Amino acid sequence: MKKTVLVAGICALVLAGGATVNAAEEAKSLTTEGKVQFSPEGDDSTGEVHTPNEDSQEGEEPEVIELPDQGNSGAGALRIQFVPNLFFKNEESKAARSVSNVNLLKYNLKGETTESVIAPFVQVSDGRGLTGAAAKWDLTVKATPFTATGADLPGGTHVLTNSTIVFGGSTLTSDYMTSAKAAERITGQEASAKTGLATNGTASVSVMKTQAGKDTNGYQVSNVFHDGYEKGATTYAGGNTSGVQFVKPVGIAPYADVDYKSTLTWTLTFGI
């Protein structure tokens, strides 16, 4: 059965075990059986967002981070751990084609106030205890048209029709794994996402999913939209990255000093 969620899943742990010891007049060696079972559904869980790790941190406990007002998180055994807002750099208004890089996200380590920056990323946590076909999942995104509203606009609205969002950069990471090992379990955005997601409210593209025949059980996996991302080492010019870009086509001159807004819908599909 195919299930589709924006905030997905449920999980529980059920421990079962038993042992029998027979008394005897003489000491003897006995054998017992140990057993543990985990059900695929049960209590809800939310977890915490982790900084996508760098390769040198393989096996180390990841850092918990907070990204206030930078995106959204879900709940469940299989969950959207984090998906970002995509706010793009201001560009000059012109009728010619224009390309705008995405602004960086601001985050801080849990319990601290010092801010750091990172390219937008998506993150999924999986604790369902499933293997095989049932363990598959796919994270997709779609966007409504970028639209400005205001009394000063002709007709009260203006739409940047035929615009696209290009997810060009990609670095796959996972807790307790190197990027190379993460790539054995997940894939990043599909080719059409790198070409451009049409912002028409209906088209969608995959930005991260499980590899064929693989699962992500027990892991938190991420796709950072920046080529060659390394935590604590990557520098960004001008507070933005070309890993995600907004492309306005030729022939439309945006009105200046108004916000063009879109609704991004991130969907986690599982049990495919």
Residue 25 lies in a domain: no
**Residue-range definition of the domain harbouring residue 97:** 3-17+34-270
* Exposure letters 191-200 (e unless 16+ CB within 10 A, then b): eebeebbbbe
Among candidates 23, 4, 107, which has minimal Cα distance to 65? Answer: 107
pLDDT higher than threshold 80 for residue 5: no
**Total of domains in the chain:** 1
Residue 26 lies in a domain: no
Residue 154 lies in a domain: yes
Residue 27 lies in a domain: no
Residue 22 lies in a domain: no
Tokens of 119: 């390219």
pLDDT number for residue 46: 82
pLDDT number for residue 61: 74
Q: How confident is the model at residue 16 (pLDDT cuts 50, 70, 90)?
A: very low
Residue 90 lies in a domain: yes
User: Structure pTM?
Assistant: 0.84
Q: How confident is the model at residue 181 (pLDDT cuts 50, 70, 90)?
A: confident
* Phi, psi (deg, nearest 5) at residue 101: -70, 155
Give pLDDT tens digits for 218-270: 999 999 999 999 887 888 999 999 999 999 999 999 999 999 999 999 999 99
Among candidates 101, 128, 113, 121, which has minimal Cα distance to 10? Answer: 128
The strands making up 121-126's β-sheet, listed across from edge to edge, are: 71-72, 78-84, 121-126, 219-224, 171-174
Give pLDDT tens digits for 125-171: 999 999 989 999 999 999 999 999 999 999 999 999 999 999 999 99
